[in-house]
Chain A
Amino acid sequence: MTSRADDIRLGADIGGTFTDIALDVRGTLFSTKVLTNYAAPEQAILDGIDAVIRDAGISAAEIGIIIHGTTLATNALIERRGAKTALVTTEGFRDVIEMRTENRFEQHDLNLQLPPPLIPREHRFTVKGRIGAEGQELQPLDESALEEIADRIAADNFGSVAIGFIHAYANPDHERRAREILSRKLSIPISISAEVSPQMREFERFNTVSANAYVRPQMADYLARLQTRLKDMGAECPVFMIHSGGGLISVETASEFPVRLVESGPAGGAIFAADIARRFGLEKVVSYDMGGTTAKICLIENFSPHTARTFEVARTYRFSKGSGMPISIPVIEMIEIGAGGGSIAWVDAMGRIQTGPESAGSEPGPACYGRGGKRPAITDADLVLGKLDPDNFAGGAIKLDTSASEQAILRDIGERLSLDALATAFGICEVVDENMANAARVHAVENGKNISDNLMIAFGGAAPLHAARLCEKLGIDQCIVPRGAGVGSAIGFLKAPFGYEALASKLTRLSRFKPAEVNALLADLKASAEGFVRSGASGRIVCEITAFMRYAGQGWEIPVPLADEPFGEDAVAKLKDLFETSYQRFFGRAIEGLDGLEIEIVTWSVKATDVRPAVTRHELTTGRKKSEPTTTRAVFDPATGAPQTYGIVERDTLCAGDRVAGPAVIVERETSTVVTTSFDAVIQSDGAILLIRKDSQS
């Protein structure tokens, strides 16, 4: 990247409620939050930029690079506000995206409704032509039929086209040819599944290419408008987009593959945490991002967030697995559950307290906001337990009404369970914390990890209130609450490497492994991944190679990281060894003594990233200088199950090295950090708060 870009960088994150702007002027951070403007999303960015450059005393022309992430693509999918899109697919498979998995994601609900397909049946066209499982052509493509389809699409006012053919990941020839024929008669964008998502499993791939086509015109327009408006205000610097895998791509690429922008905001949060992990040299980290409606948990190993190749967006039924749309693209793997400050608490038929996924949002908000919200939210429980100061919330901007919280909690829950307000509030928090802890545990297990081996990094408005208790539940000894936690994603954008992951599904048995062939395939992938990175970075590029492997006959693969070097004669023995080691870590024991049970590689992945400049290293300090609280407050302590006297400390009064003994609450403008009885808090050299378990050695 140019030296100029490293001087002044700007990150812009458009979220559901707020648009966050973070400006880094040679190491000094300026940030702001403005309300998201749905009609003209670029306007909020311009307003935000205007505010931060004024704060920083610079002009728009001095900005070296703008990095942008947005939930606009996600929202267009959730709210079904995309283009009128045609899907052209293989004859006999018109209904793949409608029939889904033929499963009911909730077994006992006879009135279940499945999410309707993104592209309705009348907009799906089929054409003869068939590729087989090995990539062979079983039936030639019917080109004259495609001509007719082109005419019908042209006549019917479509805005976008998706092409999804069976086994196109194994052989894209038919899809490419179909695009060629259609594009002769159509001037609208055409997306093909072999480029958008070259992975096996037709429902996921077709749905992904449909989603890409669906949001493409809108996103391309928006990005073009944004670039024009930025130039008009004098910001002529390059603009890059953050993608769901956590890397950067050019605006041109983003306009062509906008589905890659889905979940780019949360990805920014994970990068934010990864950057902190790198600064402190922390190899095993779990990031915990809790906002108004959801909590997101992500594993970060060796300073890189875990990635996956498929995820689900727009879940319609209580965040249930299977109730959304599968999207198969490289993505930072995180688990997201309906647990935020605004999540509503309620009682089920067994008299059990439940929380979320319904959220009070910012309007009407939790009962304590006094804006008409009557139902108890997590924030209400936090307030009743004493974790929040009613007079000093959001820098005093909102005065919280504790008695409104108590009333809501008692009316909806306490009276039904014969509990007082305090016990009920404790119950609500315990349930939401346990739900998050369960999600984190399952996420770790799915990745073959042990959650308690990690250090936690907590950010987002609500996370610092719950982090210490979550650590207690997960057996985690240390947790960092960084500076700038409120605009974490936007800061994360500034730290994002220029990266791109290229994938190829090619089933290769180890017994038939041909080093030369695989080397050629990997060279192609490398060229394509590096090509993307070169479009925006000029420095050195590193490539991570991963083989997704399994025993032949299994359906799910485990990632096996490989060295970036060509395969030689010993490739098979090496791969077998690496695979079995990884398998054991995931599932306890490798399968032994089976005659002729083969190991195979399903997908190859090459992830290219530019080498980031070395960061200033900080050492975690455990602090010795005891800092005494100025005031105290009664706060309900979850471990002892009773109210305790908590010290109250202003974050701004603390210096690096100060150690605050729990129980305490450290208060600041955007949030409060709860230090439970079993933790102390130590201020770090970069201003972050480290929660550290009293009895831990470190």
Chain B
Amino acid sequence: MSDIGAIRMQVMWNRLISVVEEQALALLRTAFSTSVREAGDLSAGVFDPRGQMLAQAVTGTPGHVNTMAEAVLHFMHAIPRDQMFEGDTYVTNDPWLGTGHLHDITMVSPSFLNGELVAFFACTAHVVDVGGRGFGADGKSVYEEGIQIPIMKFAEKGKVNLDLVRILRANVREPNQVVGDFYSLAACNEVGHRRLVDMMKETGLASLDGLGDFIFSRTRDAMLERIEALPKGSWSNELVTDGYDEPVKLATTVSVRDDHVEVDFTGSDPMSRWGINCPIIYSKAYACYALKCVVAPDIPNNAASLAFFTVSSPINILNAVRPAPVALRHIFGHMVPDLVLGAFSKALPGKILAEGAGALWNIHISARPVAGASGRRAEVLMFNSGGMGARPALDGLSATAFPSGVHTMPIEATEHTGPIVIWRKELRPNSGGDGEFRGGLGQVIQIEAIEGHEFDFSAMFDRVNHPAQGREGGKPGVAGVVKLDDGTKMRPKGWQHVPAGRRLILELPGGGGYGDPARRSVAARANDRSKGYITENDR
């Protein structure tokens, strides 16, 4: 390739990333669920006609991006090429073909230029309800967790499948929000398609083949260089989490080979009876994310960079098979980075952060008027984050999502969606693990139904019985607490009731510390006290 040609390819690569960013923005702007529009629980990407991911939007969360990267192949398998038409959009929420649970809707649209299939656009978002038992751990199988949409057409030649829309409306608790989100997912792919066609017309491209080769070869070379620089060998790690009613052990072996990295989950506990199982597609997404953070944080995510990581597992909680219940697959998915990074820390001592809160503290609230009273019913979903583990030269980030890439919702927006009041949402002092670098703080949240209302909530919390461990001599973070304001202890998982007038109190876990606490600087300790991050004098 000539010098000038290479520069033009690079410029088009930038343009392609900009196209998918526009695609993601369209989704944010039109979405109905707070999980998408306020919290950014979504992803968007463009694929070549072979189903290889060329580029993804920066906006989005790893669990979606890396699963969606594989989902397009399943769509191509289910819908033969001669059944694909301009104006089509395909949909599924199959946990094993999509992103791991029914609440995530994945849509794929073929993109045609002059009658030729030139690309696919895909996007995923978490909708507020899919029927069934509601978002929680209590389903005994995936059949109890909500409506299942096998891969099918949401729209054919521009016409929306209204039968699907009617079935959907009849099956979900918030039909307008859910159907509205289906429309915005389709609109988002449409925006991506329009921008791609503009780009190809302007640059005179008839296909993306040459650009794809350029993207993949540049990415491959850069990845190879990084992997060559890693120490070679195998390292194992284990981690114990709360589980539903008994602790769950997760295990991994990470092997760095000459030209790729293998992750295996042999030794993890068997599948659970409860909806906390994780399809491997989602375990893999977070394993790849963790590895990429360490190995190649600056290399774009695409089919070539992801190809350097292989993930395997016998059937177990990190490789759950149908019909296992999987609604809360994110809890163990979010623990996978701590698991994998723990193994990696043995390969790269002094370079890997301590464990953190890991799983988001999601809470789904189903509020209603008390018997006999009038008022509002509503489904409210909140994402909240505990503390991140301390880093080798920095304190952990407080109340910050990791590994998830979502935002929290403004409480003012949340209070508009349902009859609840959030009385407190602030940092939780003394919750970060001590160390030369302190773990990030968790947070405290208090929720009450508005007068004349009560609510049920689905708990999806971990690190209540098993706090985040420190690294290199750092102390563990403080475990989470779930209770009512009268002291009643609540379970970390499952649907539970909060009567009118009572407040639910959530104390989110802190991150683990890094390094010997004796080495923490006097200035850092003084700062902790003056800011009230630490309130006792016992440290």
In the bound assembly, the distance between CA atoms of A166 and B162 in angstroms comes to 42
Selected contact of A588 from candidates B21, B191, B195, B427, CB within 8 Å? B191
| Interfacial chain A residues near B18, Cβ < 8 Å | 438, 441-442
- Whether B426 lies near A101 (C-beta < 8 A) is no
Contact partner, A120, options B15, B221, B531, Cβ 8 Å: B531
User: How far, in Å, is A339 (CB) from chain B's closest CB?
Assistant: 12
Given A114-B397, A551-B32, A353-B7 contact (CB < 8 Å): yes
Give Cα A111–Cα B10 distance, bound, in whole angstroms: 28
Bound form: Cα–Cα A193–B311 in Å? 51
Known: A108-B298, A438-B18. A94 touches B421 (CB 8 A): no
**Interface residues of chain A: helix, strand, loop or mixed (majority):** loop
Residue among B13, B29, B34, B62 with most chain A CB within 10 A: B29
Q: Which B residues are in CB contact (< 8 Å) with A351?
A: 218, 221-222
Within 8 Å by CB of B297, from A108, A113, A588, lies A108
Contact across chains for A551 and B180 when beta carbons are under 8 A apart: yes
Asked if A103 lies at the interface with its beta carbon under 8 angstroms from chain B, I say yes
- Chain B CB within 10 A, most for which of A101, A203, A353: A101
A93 to B411, CA, bound (A): 10
B183 at the interface (CB under 8 A from A): yes
Nearest B-chain residue to A589, judged by Cβ: B187
A562 at the interface (CB under 8 A from B): no
In the complex, whether B384 has a CB less than 8 A from a CB of chain A is yes
Q: Could you say which residues of chain B place their CB within 8 Å of the CB of A552?
A: 176
Known: A430-B8, A442-B22, A551-B32. A104 touches B400 (CB 8 A): yes
How far apart are A52's CB and chain B's nearest CB, in angstroms?
43
**B450 at interface by CB-CB < 8 Å:** yes
Q: In the complex, which residues 155-203 of chain B have their Cβ closer than 8 Å to any Cβ of chain A?
A: 162, 169, 175-177, 179-180, 183-184, 187, 190-191, 195, 202
Query: 8 Å CB contacts to B: which residues of A97-123?
Result: 98-99, 101-104, 107-114, 120-122
Q: A133-B415, A475-B202, A587-B29 are in contact. Are A110 and B294 (CB under 8 A)?
A: yes
Most buried by A among B292, B407, B532: B407
* Closest residue on chain A to residue B40 by CB atoms: A103
The residue in chain B whose Cβ has the minimal distance to the Cβ of A92 is B424
- Is the pair A445, B25 in contact by a Cβ cutoff of 8 Å? yes
- Which positions 333-373 of chain A face chain B at CB distance < 8 Å? 348-353
Q: Does any Cβ of B come within 8 Å of A591's Cβ?
A: yes
Q: Kindly list chain B residues whose C-beta atoms are within 8 Å of the C-beta of A475.
A: 202
Does the CB pair A93–B408 fall under 8 Å? no
A202 within 8 A of B: yes
Q: Which of B299, B398, B408 contacts A349 (CB 8 A)?
A: B299
Contacts of A556 in B (CB 8 A): 28-30, 37
B32 neighbours in A (Cβ, 8 Å): 551, 553-555
Docked complex Cα distance between A446 and B421 (Å): 33
**A438 CA / B426 CA spacing, docked (Å):** 38
Flag whether B523 is at the interface (Cβ < 8 A).
no
Q: Roughly how many angstroms separate A507 CA and B412 CA in the complex, as a whole number?
A: 13
**Contact with A104, one of B25, B202, B298, B402 (Cβ below 8 angstroms):** B402
A519-558, CB under 8 A of B: which get 1 and which 0? 0000000000000000000000000000000011111100
Q: How far is the CA of A133 from the CA of B38 in the complex (A)?
A: 17
Q: 0/1 per residue, B288-303, Cβ < 8 Å to A?
A: 0100111011111000
Nearest to A640 among chain B residues (CB) is B4
CB of A201 within 8 A of CB of B222, answer no
Q: Are A102 and B384 in contact, with the CB atoms below 8 A?
A: yes
Q: How far is the CB of B126 from chain A (nearest CB, A)?
A: 14
Let me know if A426 is at the binding interface, CB within 8 A.
yes
8 Å CB contact of B426 from A95, A130, A596: A95
Partner of B176, one of A110, A349, A553: A553
Q: In the complex, which of the residues A200, A348, A586 contacts B298, with contact meaning CB atoms closer than 8 Å?
A: A348
The one of B37, B226, B423 that contacts A130, using a Cβ cutoff of 8 Å: B423
Give the residue among B11, B385, B427 with the most A Cβ atoms within 10 A. B11
Known A-B contacts A103-B407, A108-B293, A353-B10; A130 and B218 likewise in contact (beta carbons under 8 Å): no
Task: Answer whether residue B530 sits at the interface, using C-beta atoms and an 8 A cutoff.
Answer: yes
**B421 contacts A102, C-beta separation under 8 Å:** no
Q: A435 contacts the other chain (Cβ, under 8 Å)?
A: yes
Q: A130-B421, A434-B11 are in contact. Are A110 and B293 (CB under 8 A)?
A: yes
Closest to B128 in A: A553
In the complex, which residues of chain A have a beta carbon less than 8 angstroms from the beta carbon of B402?
A: 104
The reply to whether B412 and A133 form a contact with Cβ atoms under 8 Å apart is: yes
Chain B residues in 8 Å Cβ range of A589:
183, 187
A92–B426 CB distance below 8 A: yes
Q: Tell me how far the C-beta of A684 lies from the nearest C-beta in chain B, rounded to whole angstroms.
A: 28
- Measured in the bound complex, the distance between the Cα atoms of B427 and A109 in whole Å is 23
A419 within 8 A of B: yes
* Residues of B with C-beta under 8 A to A269: none
- 1/0 contact string of A658-675 vs chain B (CB within 8 Å): 000000000000000000
B130 contacts A by Cβ under 8 Å? no
Interface membership of B74, Cβ < 8 A: no
Quick check: B400 and A426 within 8 Å, CB to CB?
Answer: no
A-contact 0/1 string along B397-426, CB 8 Å cutoff = 111111001111011110110000111111
Closest A residue, CB atoms, query B418? A133
Q: B394 at the A/B interface (Cβ < 8 Å)?
A: yes
CB of A132 within 8 A of CB of B405, answer no
Query: Judging by beta carbons under 8 Å apart, are B62 and A423 in contact?
Result: no
A325 and B402 alpha carbons, distance in the complex (Å) = 21
Interface residues of A in 578-627 (CB under 8 A from B): 586-589, 591, 593-597
Is B109 in contact with chain A by the CB < 8 A criterion?
no
Contact of A587 among B187, B424, B530 (CB under 8 A): B187
A664 to B415, CA, bound (A): 61
A99 contacts B391, C-beta separation under 8 Å: no
Q: Are A438 and B401 in contact (CB under 8 A)?
A: no
Residue of B with least CB distance to A203: B410
Which chain A positions have C-beta within 8 A of B353? Answer: 110
Confirm or deny: B205 has a beta carbon within 8 angstroms of a beta carbon on chain A: no
Name which of A95, A353, A430, A435 has the most chain B CB atoms within 10 A of its CB.
A95
- Are B531's CB and A121's CB within 8 A? yes
Q: Which residues of B contact A60 (CB under 8 A)?
A: none
Query: Does B443 count as interface, using CB distance less than 8 angstroms?
Result: yes
Q: Are A103 and B29 in contact (CB under 8 A)?
A: no
Name the residue of chain A whose CB is nearest to the CB of B13.
A352
Which chain A residue shows the least CB distance to B352?
Answer: A110
B219 at interface, CB cutoff 8 A: yes
- Taking A166-B411, A200-B413 as known contacts, 17 extra A-B pairs with beta carbons closer than 8 A to each other, sorted by chain A number, are A92-B425, A95-B399, A103-B405, A108-B297, A109-B297, A110-B294, A130-B421, A132-B415, A132-B421, A133-B415, A350-B299, A438-B15, A445-B22, A554-B30, A586-B29, A587-B187, A588-B187
Give chain B's interface residues, CB within 8 Å of chain A: 3-4, 7-8, 10-11, 13-15, 18, 21-22, 25-26, 28-34, 37-38, 40, 58, 62, 162, 169, 175-177, 179-180, 183-184, 187, 190-191, 195, 202, 218-219, 221-222, 225-226, 289, 292-294, 296-300, 353, 383-385, 391, 393-394, 397-402, 405-408, 410-413, 415-416, 421-427, 443, 446, 450, 530-533
Chain A residues with a Cβ under 8 A of chain B: 91-96, 98-99, 101-104, 107-114, 120-122, 130, 132-133, 138, 166-167, 200-203, 348-353, 419-420, 423, 426-427, 430-431, 434-435, 438, 441-442, 445-446, 473, 475, 507, 551-556, 586-589, 591, 593-597, 641
- Complex A-B, nearest 7 residue pairs according to Cβ-Cβ distance, in ascending order: A92-B424, A555-B37, A108-B297, A438-B18, A133-B415, A101-B407, A102-B408
Can you name 10 A-B pairs with beta carbons within 8 Å? A99-B398, A99-B425, A102-B407, A111-B391, A113-B394, A201-B412, A349-B298, A446-B25, A553-B32, A555-B31
